[in-house]
């Protein structure tokens, strides 16, 4: 009897100690994440709520839906569609250009991959403004590309490469490409090469192994990259403003005009709320149907 | 003891007398002026603000803003730190309508020599600018375009055009290109202006959105003919680019000063404004800020200018006759209505 009691007692002690350390751990988790939570509340949730609140008042300060009704006018619908067209086009081109690059990086030996990675990341270190102006120098009528094409006799008239949709898309693809390549590369790197060898062992050709094993496994990274690129494109301001020649009326341009030129905070807020809700909707959809968190969290 | 008493009261009386003779602001008060910054602000300070401050016995401090939105924030805060703001005249008119500004004291500020479009209850023009027709001389060698009609005439003058992304001044240009006489422009027939713009928009290679961009376009030969600020085309020509321009049918707009509602040094600011618009100080503009102009026509009576200076000043009597004044009040009331149609026009 006494022996048994002596055997049980430490177990009970241990259990309560475990319990205590678990609750301590819980408290310290809360404590550690508190500053971040407060920061998010202070710089994100409160300002956004204020923004949403502002959008409910007209210029005279009366409660009204005026700011949202206005968005149904042709100028705004046009700009909304343009924004999605540009974002879609840029994302699609980024996928076409970025997937092979990410694939190459993931297959190369470590050293070579690191060297190539520098070229992917390098543009990150240069200001968007500088890169955008550089495109202007390259693409304009008297620019390097047109001069070269003209002097080589390939064209007789300069091509309209900038101050339009073409220039905007070229400039934005350049800025956005790393945002697609990096998550994609991370996902591809996490694919176990043994799986491909196993597929080959079972008689799959390299193309089959890629299509049936590698591609499906890389999809989570791809969808993360697509979501990131697309969402960033939706709010893009600088490049369309400089390379669009006034023709590419992005949603962000409308917001900037409303604040800077017309000082209509209510209208600008309504525009922002719509953009944010739509962006949130897209992220939620992608999250729901394409298992993005797997890629972002690196779990499989 | 008694002596001290006498000196003290004498001092008090003296101080009161000083206070009364100098209005109700203390000498050496510091007035804060906010402008758009950059070279324009530097030139404005040297040409207008500093001499006016010296005349009134004031000091000035400078701030920069990026438009009426910043002014609105200042006033809404309840205790603005700026006294004066320098804006475009349409913004001054909008701000006045919204109650952002103190009324100007026209007992202190004289409007002799001013065009009636050059001041309002809450603002007064301090300098003028012109939106002119400019072109590449290497493209239109001996056949230079004469007016906005030629910008619209793509058969006689083939080539790429540029207009501004903001409808202001562009509707005026479009109407004159369509045959509306200068003195019959206002109130603008915006429907007719848009019909006119529809005819040219396919030839507009670029809709420019900043002054720097506009001068780059004509300097690099990205476009052959455009509507551009006179000050901007001047710098391009000074850089040696084969470009020329005309004041014929150009649009004259104003930069203006207004006093913020609740400004800490409002009285002193009134005195400063009075100095800035006086003929003597305005007469500094043609020499010191070529391609901008004085808003007070008496400046040309007070100052003596060489023929070259007169030829390039947009406000010299000879050049004013060729141009048309922008109506800030029309734009104050209509910008919001026109803007959306204009952005649709550019996008399609």
Supply the CATH number for residue B155's domain: 3.40.190.10
Chain A interface includes B165 (CB < 8 A): yes
The pLDDT of residue A297 is 45
CA distances for B133 relative to B40, B138, B190, B308, B341, angstroms: 21, 16, 21, 20, 24
Chain A interface includes B343 (CB < 8 A): yes
What is the CB-side half-sphere exposure of residue B166 using CA atoms within 13 A?
19
Chain B interface includes A263 (CB < 8 A): yes
User: What SS3 class is residue B103?
Assistant: coil
B79 and B228, same domain (yes or no): no
The pLDDT of residue A9 is 57
What is the CB-side half-sphere exposure of residue B104 using CA atoms within 13 A?
24
Q: Which residues numbered 82-121 in A keep a CB inside 8 Å of some CB on B?
A: 82
CA distance A18 to A12: 10
B240 and B328, same domain (yes or no): yes
Tell me, yes or no, whether B307 lies in a domain.
Answer: yes
pLDDT band at B14 (very low <50, low <70, confident <90, very high): very low
Beta carbons of B66 and A140 less than 8 Å apart: no
Q: Integer distance in angstroms from the first to the last C-alpha of chain A?
A: 50
Chain B interface includes A283 (CB < 8 A): no
Q: What is the mean pLDDT of chain B?
A: 89
Phi, then psi, of A217 in degrees rounded to 5: -70, -25
In the numeric block, which tokens belong to residue A9?
């007692």
Q: Is the dihedral of CA B164, B165, B168, B171 positive or negative?
A: positive
Tell me, yes or no, whether B134 lies in a domain.
Answer: no
What's the total number of domains in chain B?
2
Angle subtended at Cα B118 by Cα B225 and Cα B166, rounded to the nearest 5 degrees: 35
Tell me, yes or no, whether B18 lies in a domain.
Answer: no
Beta carbons of A246 and B346 less than 8 Å apart: yes
Does the pLDDT at position A64 exceed 90? no
From A97's Cα to the closest Cα of chain B, the distance in A is 28
Q: Which of A46-55, B143-152, B164-173 has the lowest mean pLDDT?
A: A46-55
Chain A interface includes B301 (CB < 8 A): no
Residue of A nearest to B67 (CA): A260
Q: Is the distance from CB of B319 to CB of B246 less than 8 angstroms?
A: no
CA distance B87 to B209: 17
Q: Which of A164-173, A258-267, B154-163 has the lowest mean pLDDT?
A: A258-267
More confident residue, B142 or A5: B142
The residue-averaged pLDDT of A205-211 equals 91
Beta carbons of A247 and B347 less than 8 Å apart: yes
User: What SS3 class is residue A64?
Assistant: coil
B223 and B268, same domain (yes or no): no
Does the pLDDT at position A25 exceed 60? yes
B44 and B193, same domain (yes or no): no
B207 and B333, same domain (yes or no): yes
Query: Which residue range is the domain that position B104 belongs to?
Result: 25-128+254-320
Which member of A79, A245, A254 has the closest CB to residue B207?
A245
From the list B282, B277, B244, B38, the residue with the least C-alpha distance to B139 is B244
Phi, then psi, of B32 in degrees rounded to 5: -100, 125
Note the pLDDT tens digit of each residue in B297-313. Answer: 999 999 889 998 898 89
Does the pLDDT at position B208 exceed 90? yes
The residue-averaged pLDDT of B20-30 equals 64
pLDDT band at A62 (very low <50, low <70, confident <90, very high): confident
Q: Say yes or no: ipTM exceeds 0.95.
A: no
Tell me, yes or no, whether B144 lies in a domain.
Answer: yes
More confident residue, A20 or B105: B105
CB-based contacts of B47: which residues, under 8 Å, 6+ apart? B281, B284, B285, B288, B289
B270 and B285, same domain (yes or no): yes
Reply yes or no: is the peptide bond before residue B187 cis, omega within 30 of 0: yes
B315 and B329, same domain (yes or no): no
Does the pLDDT at position B1 exceed 80? no
The pLDDT of residue B6 is 46
Residues in chain B with CB shorter than 8 Å from the CB of A242 are 213
How would you classify residue B249: left for phi > 0, otherwise alpha for psi between -120 and 50, otherwise beta?
A: left
Beta carbons of A263 and B68 less than 8 Å apart: yes
B144 and B232, same domain (yes or no): yes
Percent of chain A with pLDDT over 70: 92
How would you classify residue A177: left for phi > 0, otherwise alpha for psi between -120 and 50, otherwise beta?
A: alpha
Tell me, yes or no, whether B5 lies in a domain.
Answer: no
B149 and B93, same domain (yes or no): no
Note the pLDDT tens digit of each residue in A115-174. Answer: 999 988 887 788 888 999 899 999 998 889 999 999 998 888 888 899 999 999 999 999
B29 and B68, same domain (yes or no): yes
**What predicted TM-score, i.e. pTM, was given to this entire model?**
0.80
pLDDT band at B16 (very low <50, low <70, confident <90, very high): very low
Query: In B261-305, at which residue ranges do the beta strands (DSSP E only) sit?
Result: none
Residue of A nearest to B88 (CA): A261
Q: Tally A–B CB contacts below 8 A.
A: 61
From A95's Cα to the closest Cα of chain B, the distance in A is 27
The pLDDT of residue B236 is 93
Tell me, yes or no, whether B208 lies in a domain.
Answer: yes
pLDDT band at A8 (very low <50, low <70, confident <90, very high): low
Q: Integer distance in angstroms from the first to the last C-alpha of chain B?
A: 88
Tell me, yes or no, whether B1 lies in a domain.
Answer: no
CA distance B43 to B58: 19
B160 and B213, same domain (yes or no): yes
Query: In B28-179, at which residue ranges do the beta strands (DSSP E only) sit?
Result: 30-35, 59-64, 84-88, 101-102, 123-136, 161-164
The pLDDT of residue B252 is 93
pLDDT band at B2 (very low <50, low <70, confident <90, very high): very low
From the list A216, A229, A241, the residue with the least C-alpha distance to A291 is A216
Q: Is the distance from CB of B150 to CB of B143 less than 8 angstroms?
A: no
Which member of B206, B220, B335 has the closest CB to residue A246?
B206
From the list A290, A168, A276, A170, the residue with the least C-alpha distance to A225 is A290
CA distance A184 to B39: 47
Tell which of B98, B206, B336 to mutate to test the A interface (max A CBs under 10 Å): B206
Note the pLDDT tens digit of each residue in A105-121. Answer: 999 998 999 999 998 88
From A153's Cα to the closest Cα of chain B, the distance in A is 20
B29 and B165, same domain (yes or no): no
Does the pLDDT at position A4 exceed 60? no
Tell me, yes or no, whether B12 lies in a domain.
Answer: no
């Amino acid at each position: 009897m006494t022996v048994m009691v002596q055997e049980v007692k430490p177990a009970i002690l241990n259990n309560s100690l475990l319990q205590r350390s678990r609750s301590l751990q819980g408290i310290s988790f809360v404590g550690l994440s508190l500053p971040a939570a407060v920061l998010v509340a202070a710089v994100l949730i409160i300002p956004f709520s204020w923004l949403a609140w502002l959008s409910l008042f007209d210029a005279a300060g009366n409660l009204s839906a005026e700011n949202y009704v206005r968005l149904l006018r042709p100028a705004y619908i046009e700009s909304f569609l343009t924004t999605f067209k540009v974002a879609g086009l840029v994302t699609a081109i980024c996928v076409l250009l970025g997937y092979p690059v990410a694939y190459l990086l993931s297959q190369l030996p470590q050293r070579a991959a690191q060297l190539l990675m520098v070229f992917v990341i390098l543009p990150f270190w240069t200001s968007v403004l500088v890169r955008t102006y550089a495109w202007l120098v390259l693409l304009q009528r008297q620019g390097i590309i047109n001069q070269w094409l003209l002097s080589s006799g390939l064209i007789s008239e300069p091509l309209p490469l900038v101050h339009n949709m073409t220039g905007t898309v070229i400039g934005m693809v350049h800025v956005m490409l790393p945002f697609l390549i990096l998550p994609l590369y991370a996902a591809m790197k996490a694919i176990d090469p043994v799986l491909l060898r196993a597929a080959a062992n079972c008689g799959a050709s390299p193309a089959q192994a890629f299509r049936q094993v590698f591609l499906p496994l890389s999809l989570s990274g791809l969808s993360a990259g697509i979501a990131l690129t697309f969402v960033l494109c939706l709010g893009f301001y600088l490049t369309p403003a400089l390379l669009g020649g006034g023709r590419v009326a992005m949603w962000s341009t409308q917001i900037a005009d409303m604040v800077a030129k017309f000082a209509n905070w209510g209208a600008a807020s309504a525009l922002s709320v719509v953009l944010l809700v739509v962006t949130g909707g897209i992220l939620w959809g992608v999250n729901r149907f394409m298992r993005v968190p797997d890629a972002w969290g690196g779990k499989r | 003891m008694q002596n001290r008493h006498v000196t003290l009261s004498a001092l008090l009386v003296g101080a009161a007398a000083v206070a009364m003779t100098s209005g109700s602001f203390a000498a050496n008060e510091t007035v804060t002026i906010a402008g758009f910054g950059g070279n324009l602000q530097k030139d404005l300070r040297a040409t207008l603000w500093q001499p006016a401050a010296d005349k009134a016995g004031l000091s000035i401090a400078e701030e920069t803003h990026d438009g009426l939105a910043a002014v609105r924030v200042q006033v809404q805060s309840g205790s603005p730190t700026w006294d004066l703001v320098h804006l475009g005249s349409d913004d001054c008119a909008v701000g006045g309508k919204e109650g952002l500004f103190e009324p100007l004291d026209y007992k202190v500020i004289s409007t002799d020599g001013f065009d009636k479009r050059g001041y309002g209850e809450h603002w007064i023009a301090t300098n003028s600018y012109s939106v002119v027709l400019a072109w590449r001389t290497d493209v239109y060698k001996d056949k230079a375009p004469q007016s906005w009609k030629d910008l619209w005439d793509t058969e006689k003058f083939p080539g790429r055009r540029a207009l501004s992304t903001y409808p202001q001044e562009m509707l005026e240009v479009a109407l004159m290109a369509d045959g509306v006489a200068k003195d019959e422009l206002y109130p603008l027939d915006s429907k007719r202006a848009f019909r006119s713009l529809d005819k040219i928009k396919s030839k507009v290679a670029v809709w420019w959105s900043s002054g720097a961009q506009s001068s780059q376009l004509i300097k690099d030969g990205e476009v052959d003919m455009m509507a551009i600020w006179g000050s901007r085309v001047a710098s391009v020509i000074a850089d040696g680019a084969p470009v020329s321009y005309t004041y014929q049918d150009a649009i004259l707009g104003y930069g203006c000063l207004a006093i913020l509602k609740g400004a800490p040094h409002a009285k002193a600011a009134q005195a400063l404004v009075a100095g800035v618009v006086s003929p003597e100080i305005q007469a500094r503009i043609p020499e010191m800020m070529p391609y901008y102009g004085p808003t007070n026509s008496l400046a040309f009576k007070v100052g003596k200018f060489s023929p070259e200076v007169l030829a390039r000043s947009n406000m010299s009597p000879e050049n004013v006759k060729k141009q048309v004044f922008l109506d800030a009040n029309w734009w104050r009331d209509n910008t919001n209505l026109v803007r959306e149609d204009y952005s649709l026009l550019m996008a399609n």
